[in-house]
Chains A and B, each alone.
Chain A
């Protein structure tokens, strides 16, 4: 997919350009995304080296392996990015709300075992548990990734 995305945060102070890796989005229900985004963090996986950001960004190291960024002015969630060495290192998972992505579809829900019973999307799609996600991203020799 070569469509380039042009987006901005709620107040417009931060602008983001990127090339999405695929034509689908993912929804994360993990505890950290839940607290951060009011519920579900909707992400767009991006092609490495294609993300351009301008504006007042504040970065928060939310775990030993990843950071989360937001607009310093309006507080819009901007991205989740793995900072640890290994699979996915440096890759931006951009907040879908920054862009008009109506041509895409919701293809995946991750940390489905962390989703509260309070809500559920209608329909069916691929779902992964937290352990299935950790099995992909966390080197097995490090033991308990959590």
Chain B
């Protein structure tokens, strides 16, 4: 999709990155509480260049994940594996979302009953996601 730019609500954190066209939406309980209702909607990024890093506040809500927000405006910025590069960033930060599509919804068994699915997105449960996570953690164990 090429390089895109983005920023948080107040502009303290800005970035540029190459994005691909696929967006994922996570409905887990933590993402719901964190984003105001969820889902956490993220896009995969490569060659991320981020500025305003002194304005980023991080929080560990699990032993493997790290969540980051702008400490000035509270914008959701990213979720990543602790100690790993940032691979996904909140899609709402992008200045231009042209050509992107939500292709995957995960932890759908936690999606609130009042929230409809997104049109055309694949659906994955907690059991499916935790199996993927277990495989990832086993492969990356040090």
Contacts and interface: CB of A to CB of B under 8 A. Distances in A.
Contacts of A101: 112, 114
Nearest to A94: B36
A116 B113 contact: no
B90 interface: yes
Contact of A97 (B38, B61, B75): B38
B86 interface: no
Contacts of A34: 92
B41 A104 contact: no
Q: Helix, strand, loop or mixed for chain A's interface?
A: mixed
Nearest to B11: A35
Interface in A29-69: 32-43, 58, 60, 62, 68-69
Find the residue from A33, A34, A39, A58 having the highest chain B CB count within 10 A: A39
Interface residues of A, number: 46
Given A75-B67, A101-B114, A118-B100, A69 B74 contact: yes
Given A11-B61, A37-B36, A101-B114, A116 B100 contact: yes
Interface of B: 7-10, 23, 25, 30, 32-42, 57, 59, 61, 67-69, 71-76, 90-93, 97-98, 100-102, 112-119, 121
Given A38-B91, A39-B35, A39-B41, 15 more contacts: A10-B61, A36-B8, A38-B90, A38-B93, A40-B37, A40-B41, A60-B73, A62-B10, A68-B73, A69-B74, A75-B74, A98-B33, A106-B115, A118-B23, A118-B97
